[in-house]
Amino acid sequence: MNISPHENDFGAAIEGVDLSKALSAEEVSQIRRAWLRYRMVYFPDQPMTHEQLEKFSLAIGSFGDDPYVRAIDGHPHIVEVRREPEEDVPLFGGTWHSDWSFQKTPPNATILHAKIIPPVGGDTHYCDGVRAFSALDSAMQARLEGLHALHSARKPYSHEGVKAGGGDRRSMTLLPSDKALSIQRHPMVRTHPETGEKVLWVNPLYTIGVDGLSEKEGEALLGELFEHMKAPEFIYRHRWRENMLGMWDNRCVMHSAQGGYAGHRRVLHRLTVAGSAPY
């Protein structure tokens, strides 16, 4: 197995392994070590069936709970992330986010397998929450470690949110619900349960406020943090290729789907790996 890390040890290519076949315990261990170290890893040239994709995901961990988006028929844990050439609605996943951070136990990992990739655009940008936290001054770190953020799915997945986002014109089927209005409280600085690293763990899509601060104060603090997190030195820009599989650590990474491929189809298959409550 050959592992080629990117700048700042954020993002790495892994080659020399066939994910369509059963992996040995040592191969799974190597992949997990690389995933924990580089936070986002990808495997070029990995043609896979739905069943093979599911089997790889289970080698990493149990399936996560994926609400609000209809799964592929017969495969309840695979969501098809699809955009047709003529679609004119906002990008699915285009706002910076950590997957399902509004859940009590958000996913440990997200796995994405590329099926149809446009000739231009369609990249995904990733933000390293570990380095984003370590770059803050000590006073801000101390302040944030005493605060909790409020997370909710209301913006994209409430009935109002889906309607505002053009949900009826999407090729993907969104499943709006009043459950999206609920709020989950999480620490703003998360301790990674496997590495022990401190992570700045807020995101523009699902983080809607700060517990104990007024709406105005919370918006100001979150706005400052979001701008900080999007600084170029924390970002890895990933270019997809057909049959590439990507996997990132949702406990310390947020991401954003990019456009730039109007007139082209883009299709990827996504699963999540179950996680634990942030602390």
What pLDDT score was predicted for residue 277?
Answer: 98
- The pTM (predicted TM-score) of the whole model is 0.97
CATH code of the domain occupying 2-273: 3.60.130.10
DSSP of 3-72: EEE-GGG--EEEES--TTSPPPHHHHHHHHHHHHHHSEEEESS----HHHHHHHHHHH-PBPP--SBPPB
* Per-10-residue mean pLDDT, the chain, length 279: 97 98 97 98 98 98 97 98 96 97 98 98 98 98 97 97 92 96 98 98 98 98 98 98 98 98 98 98
CA geometry: angle at 66 spanning 61 and 70, to 5°?
Answer: 130
Q: Please report, for the chain, the start and end positions of each structural domain, with discontinuous segments joined by +.
A: 2-273
Q: Which residues pair with 43 in a beta bridge?
A: 245
Q: How far, in whole angstroms, is CA 138 from its chain's centroid?
A: 27
| Cα dihedral 48, 117, 154, 251 sign | positive
What pLDDT score was predicted for residue 167?
Answer: 86
Pairwise CA distance, residues 230 & 69, whole Å: 27
| Catalytic positions, written as ranges | 97, 99, 255, 270
